[in-house]
Amino acid sequence: MHKKRNLYKYRIAATIAFIVVIVGIGVPMWWKTTTVYRVSLPSSAIQRLSEQPIKTAVQIAIYTQETNRGQLLITELETAFADSDIWNVEFKQLLPFAKAAEVHTPAALEKLLLQAHPQSVGDFLFIEWAKLEDELLLTTERSALMRSDVTSTKIAQLLHSKILQTYRINQILSTDERLGTKSEAPQPAYDVVISVLNPKPRLTFAQWNVAMAAQTYIEPFLAQISDISNYTVRTQWKYRVSIEADLKQMRDSSKLGRHYALQESSLPHLLTSIAQNLSGSITDKPVINLVVYIPPCTTAPLHIYNSKQEMLTKHGVDAFISPPWGGFIIANPPEHVCLAHLNNEPPVEYYVNTNDNMQVMLDQLHKLLDISSEVQVAGVKTVDIEQLAPRRWEYESYMRRSAIRHIATASNTLQSLIKLLDQISYIVIDDKVGAAITNSYVDIMAAKVALIEHRLVDASALAKRAFVASERGFFDASLLAQLYFPDEQKYAIYIPLFLPVMVPVLSSFNMLRKLLHGRRKEKQQ
Amino acid sequence: MITALAFLLLLPLLVFMPLAPPAVALINPQSQHFTDEQFHEELVVRPLAGDHVNTYFQFTTRWHYGTRNNLYHTQLTPRVIAEVLQTYDVKELHIGLTQGLWRYESWGYPIVEATGGAEMWAWFSAPNLSNDDVDKQWMQLANVFSGVLCVSLNFVDNTNTIAPKHIFRPQFMHTANRSQQFVRYATLPREIVCTENLTPWKKLLPCGSASGLATLLNSGYVHNTKYHSLGVKVRTLCDTDDPNNCIVELTQTANLVYDLKLLEQSSTDFSLRRLFGMGLNGNCELASSSKIYVQRSERGEQFQLVPPPQHEVTSTRGGYTAIYAVYDMQEQFEGPGARLFNIAWVGPKSSSSSGSNKERASLPPLYAHRYLLGNGQKRGRIATEITNTHFDALPIIVMELVPWYVYAYLHTLRIRSKPQHRHDYGAKELKFSLLHYAPGKQRELSTHLEIGFMLPARSSALITIEVDYLLLKWLEYPPDANHGHYIGAAVISSQLPTGRNYTALPLEGHLFRDSYNASRPAYTLTLRTEALIVSLPTPDFSMPYNVICLACTVVALAFGPIHSVATKLIIVERQTTMPRNLLRKLFHKLTNRAAKPTPTALPEQNQQQAANQDEETDDKKQSEKQSSCNTPTHM
């Protein structure tokens, strides 16, 4: 009997040992060794990123000749901006001072004011100036002049539409895809490629020092705005690249007696036929294409027509843009060149007009980079730019917009990545990618803080870094290392081992349970 | 001996030193605005022995760009080349994409050399350039051109790249001193060259395939040839004193050999239209010169040309005279109106037998073959046979690139020689005067071997080295593993004292006409042998999966009994009320169990009650286990 008890004990011990080895050690070890490598990420914190709104602090100073009026304006404006989710506007009144009366020009007054109250990047200043034609006049710096009778609603309207560009920020931040077109976030580096297309070099002897033109017009402009993106300007000539579009001959009263019509509807096809011939680049930087097309005299002058058969040429310019691909300019040869061609004379050598084409190209670049503000507000006039650089307030609102866009895009990218990781368990996150994601998260937080703390330059730099890191993390090739070995296959391979081994082990659980049950009953009896 | 050899190899460099000023002489008034950039297109047609025709296209763009900053603005030179020069410290680059084998014995020497598949080599030079930088840049460069030309050059990495020491001489000029020059060489013999390479290659031309000689290169006809080779060569020539005075020279070549018998013709006549499917529709208007050269000497003698050529040029080079008929396409297409230009070669009637007799007479001075000896999949011997038909000894350098999956043993390296008239190699061994050996490393480095020796007059040398084939890991086999693995061609270099069969351009020249009367003390010749194919032991690729399944099954089968033996006790009980009939037995078993559950008894006893014989000890659980153990075998 004693011996039997002993045997019985051993068997129980053996059963337990089996359970411990297989279930307690074997399964966790298998799980650990076959699991996909993943660095721990601040997942929950990233998920909560969109809960904290992106709020930007702006300081707006108002100078009035009378203190009361200034106070009134500020109280009204403060109530107008009180319930804004995006803006944290701090209005500051600049008190009238003695010297102000002696000043005769607004510029001098502005200078005096700025000496007393220096502005930081992103700030704005309203100066009251009684003798003004329009209600408000935007300068090229960070200031605007206002007439004495301007209402606070008008100022608020100007702030929303031009200085702060609230509607565009709302577009960026909205999660609804249907709200407006969303343009892409600015990339850290671009190649700006100016291509001059001369499809019939035998007939068209067009000459142009395009390198010089780019160096004089495009490069200085891009140098002014290179805080957010770096631009490399390249030029190239391309020959024998013909456009594939139906051109219709139209009679007119010019010396040539005709011109050619390019339908508006065929412009997309034209871009497609050209894009494949512009030759690729060896880097992975996105390219902004600026194409100057010189039509041969057999199809010149060429003008763009809309579907109502109206010529769309304005000021002698035939050009269009297609963001983000780039812009297209038709540079028709001068009349005498094509006249010579019509009269079967040998081709005439001529120079492409640098100034005209480069002005158009600069304007296209402004629009493609989305810096200038096109909104018109009644009663508000803007001083024309005289130099290549954009207006300072325009550029700063572009910086602010880019920072917000970078933060929003980076947060979105990180959140989608976390969502993907939750759904697809075989995505590998190695140390490098993990670091990129964590850094991006840290930078997003820092950029948000910088925005609310009124440090626009820092915020812009941090947001850009966060954006770059998030893109790098999301598109890293190592994420897909296990793509072709999903979990299903893992289970399929190991099931022949686990099924037969687990059945007896699990059933011995049942045995143990019964045994315990029996023992308890024995004790009760 | 070594010094003499070194001197011979240095010669081209010395000859090359004076930098030719950029030719500003303009032939074409149309191209006046490219004062510092010129484009030339040339076609050389050479009838070869055995009813073959060699057509060689050469498109040269030469850009005197001056400083590096000008590389941002391109005209005729493709933007990719400018970007490559800006991004990498590459000074000279050669890429060859070839299908077929050049037959030296019957065809003589080609104008540009290439080996089957893809071949690439490049020279890098810059101050403070380290070997690691060069490795990195080399791989990036290969990746760039894999995209530009749609070739699998992205497979070029450190495992199949070597740094040749003696065989390649730089063709570029740079201010940096010689110790800062690095060369890298790689071949991909498996690469298949096809239309997808020709189309991007043509896109690099300023006129593309829209006009000029490139219109003749239609993929349908190009890929019907016996041998076709596309080449891209870039080199920079900088003033040794002034680094802001540089020329970049891009040469694109297409070398084709047609077999006239395959053109479905009874006679030996042929024409441009026959060869390319169409006549020429014009010259490239951007070209400074556009010329067709037709060889009139040797095989070309017997043909009559229609239309007759405008000029004939006689060139004496290294004691041998060649006559070329020259057609200038710019003159042909001068007037207005569209037309097609065609050249026809009219051969003599019924004289083909006399032509074949001549073939034997003119073997080139040097040719080589390579083959594999030994049997089985374990070890073999690589044999390279070089024959010198010249009346004087020739200096030879042989470079072997043996991939890492083949072990080469240096101590088995032997060079045996025999006179040309003998058939078998005796025991006579040649001494090598130069040896460079970099042993390979499994999965990391290729074996790199360079040997230099003097090959006596009218004799052959057989270089043999014994190799072991490695058993690869299952993931290292390429798709279609039974096809075999390639060993790239050996490269053989020599200095010929005569110009017989020699048509390559001189080092300082960039146009075909530069080879007229270009007599030199010696002519650098580079040959490529055949590539070899070895069949490494190929496993059954479903094996790992089978092994996993089988091992799991065995473990599972063993586990069941062990588990029950360890945890279960067999108790034998007599049961008298058991019916004999099988059906009733089962029925009894079931009812019995349902009727009186015995909680106090051991779990096994429940089932044991049914057993009436000693052998029937298997309980229900165990049979259950058995059945589940059997499942994996079906998987």
Strands B289-295 and B320-328: antiparallel
In this prediction, residue A445 carries a pLDDT of 93
Residue A6 touches chain B, beta carbons under 8 Å: no
Q: Which residues contact B482 (CB under 8 A, 6 or more apart)?
A: B535, B538
Does residue B513 surpass a pLDDT of 90? Answer: no
Q: Does this complex have an ipTM over 0.90?
A: no
Find the residue in A nearest to B70 (Cα). Answer: A211
What mean pLDDT do residues A437-462 have? Answer: 92
Does residue B589 surpass a pLDDT of 60? Answer: yes
Contact A211 B556 (CB under 8 A): no
Q: How many domains does chain A have?
A: 3
Does residue B3 surpass a pLDDT of 50? Answer: no
In this prediction, residue B612 carries a pLDDT of 41
Residue A434 touches chain B, beta carbons under 8 Å: no
Mean pLDDT of chain B: 81
Taken in order B465, B471, B473, B475, the sign of the CA dihedral is: positive
What mean pLDDT do residues A287-316 have? Answer: 88
Taken in order A392, A235, A471, A468, the sign of the CA dihedral is: negative
What mean pLDDT do residues B204-209 have? Answer: 88
Residues in chain B: 635
Residue A344 class from Cβ within 10 Å (0-12 exposed, 13-18 middle, 19+ buried)?
Answer: exposed
Contact A236 B144 (CB under 8 A): no
Domain presence at residue A379: no
Q: How many CB pairs under 8 A join A and B?
A: 134
Lowest-pLDDT range, A479-488, B11-20, B28-37, B551-560?
B11-20
The pLDDT tens digits of the residues spanning A29-83 come to: 988 888 888 888 888 999 888 888 888 888 898 888 888 888 888 898 888 888 8
Residue A358 binned pLDDT confidence (cut-offs 50, 70, 90)? very high
Residue B621 binned pLDDT confidence (cut-offs 50, 70, 90)? very low
Domain end position, chosen among A369, A400, A430: A369
In this prediction, residue B557 carries a pLDDT of 86
Report the distance separating Cα A236 and Cα A287, nearest Å: 13
3-state secondary structure of B336: coil
Residue A78 phi/psi, 5-degree rounding, is -60, -40
The distance from CA B25 to its chain's CA centroid, rounded to whole angstroms, is: 38
Report the distance separating Cα A56 and Cα B261, nearest Å: 80
Taken in order B573, B574, B575, B578, the sign of the CA dihedral is: positive
In this prediction, residue B460 carries a pLDDT of 92
Higher per-residue confidence, B528 vs A488 = B528
In this prediction, residue B183 carries a pLDDT of 92
In this prediction, residue B93 carries a pLDDT of 94
- Domain-by-domain residue ranges, chain B? 34-362, 543-634
Say whether both A235 and A314 belong to one domain.
yes
Nearest to A497 among B79, B208, B555 (CB): B555
Report pTM.
0.82
Say whether both A238 and A357 belong to one domain.
yes
Lowest-pLDDT range, B326-330, B523-527, B596-600?
B596-600
In this prediction, residue A441 carries a pLDDT of 94
Domain presence at residue A354: yes
Does residue B597 surpass a pLDDT of 90? Answer: no
**Tokens 């484009």 — which residue?**
B39
Q: Among B633, B624, B634, which Cα is nearest to B554's?
A: B633
The pLDDT tens digits of the residues spanning A494-517 come to: 887 888 888 888 888 888 888 888
Residue B356 phi/psi, 5-degree rounding, is -70, -25
Higher per-residue confidence, B393 vs B500 = B393
Residue B74 bridge partners (DSSP):
A236
Say whether both A322 and A214 belong to one domain.
yes
In this prediction, residue B467 carries a pLDDT of 92
In this prediction, residue B604 carries a pLDDT of 44
Domain presence at residue A471: no
Residue A207 touches chain B, beta carbons under 8 Å: yes
Higher per-residue confidence, B356 vs B178 = B178
Does residue A416 surpass a pLDDT of 70? Answer: yes
In this prediction, residue A514 carries a pLDDT of 84
Residue A26 touches chain B, beta carbons under 8 Å: no
Mean pLDDT of chain A: 86
Lowest-pLDDT range, A402-406, B404-408, B513-517?
B513-517
In this prediction, residue A183 carries a pLDDT of 67
Nearest to B563 among A18, A201, A521 (CB): A18
Does residue B361 surpass a pLDDT of 80? Answer: no
The pLDDT tens digits of the residues spanning B9-52 come to: 433 333 333 333 333 333 333 444 456 889 999 999 998 888 88
Does residue A99 surpass a pLDDT of 50? Answer: yes
The pLDDT tens digits of the residues spanning B193-204 come to: 888 899 999 989
The pLDDT tens digits of the residues spanning B133-160 come to: 999 999 999 999 999 999 999 999 889 9
In this prediction, residue A176 carries a pLDDT of 61
Suggest the residue from A237, A273, A511 to mutate for an interface test with chain B (most B CBs closer than 10 A).
A237
What mean pLDDT do residues B216-230 have? Answer: 89
Contact B566 A280 (CB under 8 A): no
With beta carbons less than 8 A apart as the criterion, state whether B522 and B11 touch: yes
Report the distance separating Cα A506 and Cα A235, nearest Å: 74
Say whether both A29 and A71 belong to one domain.
no
In this prediction, residue A235 carries a pLDDT of 92
- The shortest C-alpha distance from A330 to chain B (Å) reads 19
What mean pLDDT do residues B400-421 have? Answer: 90
- The shortest C-alpha distance from B453 to chain A (Å) reads 43
Say whether both A236 and A292 belong to one domain.
yes
3-state secondary structure of B345: strand
3-state secondary structure of A150: coil
Contact A493 B629 (CB under 8 A): no
Higher per-residue confidence, B535 vs B543 = B535
Nearest to A202 among B33, B285, B628 (CB): B285
Does residue A444 surpass a pLDDT of 90? Answer: yes
**Tokens 């094509």 — which residue?**
A338
What mean pLDDT do residues B302-310 have? Answer: 86
In this prediction, residue B603 carries a pLDDT of 44
Residue B319 class from Cβ within 10 Å (0-12 exposed, 13-18 middle, 19+ buried)?
Answer: exposed
Residue A120 class from Cβ within 10 Å (0-12 exposed, 13-18 middle, 19+ buried)?
Answer: exposed
With beta carbons less than 8 A apart as the criterion, state whether B97 and B71 touch: no
Q: Which residues contact A299 (CB under 8 A, 6 or more apart)?
A: A247, A260
In this prediction, residue A172 carries a pLDDT of 80
Report the distance separating Cα B60 and Cα B38, nearest Å: 8
- The shortest C-alpha distance from B187 to chain A (Å) reads 22
Domain presence at residue A279: yes
- The shortest C-alpha distance from A397 to chain B (Å) reads 32
In this prediction, residue B630 carries a pLDDT of 40
Does residue B335 surpass a pLDDT of 60? Answer: yes
The pLDDT tens digits of the residues spanning B424-451 come to: 888 888 888 899 999 988 888 999 999 9
Residue B172 binned pLDDT confidence (cut-offs 50, 70, 90)? confident
Q: Among B234, B343, B298, B313, which Cα is nearest to B513's?
A: B313
In this prediction, residue B505 carries a pLDDT of 86
Higher per-residue confidence, A183 vs B557 = B557
Higher per-residue confidence, B423 vs B622 = B423
Domain end position, chosen among A369, A387, A415: A369
In this prediction, residue A438 carries a pLDDT of 94
Domain end position, chosen among A107, A138, A172: A172
SS3 readout for A380-424: EEECCCCCCCCCHHHHHHHHHHHHHHHHHHHHHHHHHHHHHHHHC
The pLDDT tens digits of the residues spanning B61-70 come to: 999 988 888 8
Say whether both A212 and A280 belong to one domain.
yes
The range of the structural domain enclosing residue A520 comes to: 2-36+484-524
The pLDDT tens digits of the residues spanning B248-269 come to: 999 999 999 998 888 766 677 8
Say whether both A252 and A148 belong to one domain.
no
The distance from CA A87 to its chain's CA centroid, rounded to whole angstroms, is: 20
Q: What CA–CA distances, in Å, run from A481 to A31, A351, A427, B139, B397? A: 19, 55, 7, 22, 45
Residue A1 binned pLDDT confidence (cut-offs 50, 70, 90)? low
Residue B576 binned pLDDT confidence (cut-offs 50, 70, 90)? low
What mean pLDDT do residues B535-552 have? Answer: 81
What mean pLDDT do residues A406-421 have? Answer: 91
Say whether both A204 and A125 belong to one domain.
no
In this prediction, residue B283 carries a pLDDT of 86
The pLDDT tens digits of the residues spanning A212-259 come to: 999 999 999 999 888 888 999 999 999 888 787 888 888 888 888 889
Contact A500 B87 (CB under 8 A): no
